[in-house]
Amino acid sequence: MASIAVSEQIIGLRQTLKVFTRRFTADREESSDLVQDTLLKALMHQDKFKPDTNLKGWLFTIMRNTFINNYRKHQRARVSRDRTKDLYFLNVEDNHTLNLPDSRCEYKDIWQHVNALREVLLIPFRMHINGYKYYEIAEQLHLPIGTVKNRIFQARQEIQKKLTGY
């Protein structure tokens, strides 16, 4: 009999849970799904609820954990939502690599412009893009740090002028 009473109390808090979902999402469908998942988990595991404790707090914890787990799952899968009529989920690959034919040409063009710099600018610039700190470049080239920063800045400016079409 006690489990029926707990089930009724859980179902009775449905509207409160719906309001609580606004902390996590503004999407109505996602909100409804979150409430349903929370209620389902609570009803399935109501034997784990301890009598004379805060039922609402227990439900809020289940909801928060469900939201976090769903968020992490979607992040791992790198899924984006297709807003078409059928609402399919599509896997999206990262295109941060330079594997496209056009990007290979751009990459070569950029490096041609970099290599065309005057040697006075090229050496500090290459050292900088290879991870050397300003003071390390200054020590190695026996230059003041201000001069190193200026030359790197000038190298960037010249490269940007040559790459106005990109």
Question: Can you spell out the DSSP letters for 95-144?
Answer: --S--SHHHHHHHHHHHHHHHTS-HHHHHHHHHHHTT--HHHHHHHHT--
Q: Return the CATH number of the domain spanning residue range 101-162.
A: 1.10.10.10
Q: Would you say domain 2-91 falls under CATH 1.20.200.10?
A: no
* Tens of each residue's pLDDT in the chain, 166 residues: 367 777 788 888 888 888 888 888 888 888 888 888 888 888 888 888 888 888 888 888 888 898 888 888 877 666 555 566 665 555 445 444 445 555 555 777 788 888 888 999 999 998 998 888 999 999 999 999 999 999 999 998 888 888 776 5
CA distance 88 to 80: 9
Please, are residues 135 and 145 in contact by the beta-carbon 8 Å criterion?
A: yes
Q: What is the Cα 118 distance to its own chain's centre?
A: 40
Q: What is the Cα 135 distance to its own chain's centre?
A: 34
Written as one letter, the residue type at 122 is: L
Identify which of 60, 68, 70 has the alpha carbon closest to the alpha carbon of residue 39.
Answer: 60
- Distant-in-sequence, close-in-space partners of 66: CB < 8 Å, separation ≥ 6: 34, 37, 38, 41
pTM (2 d.p.) = 0.45
Q: Tell me the two tokens of residue 35.
A: 């409430």
Neighbours of 138 (CB within 10 A): 18
| Domains of the chain, residue spans | 2-91, 101-162
Eight-state DSSP code of residue 92: -
Neighbours of 38 (CB within 10 A): 26
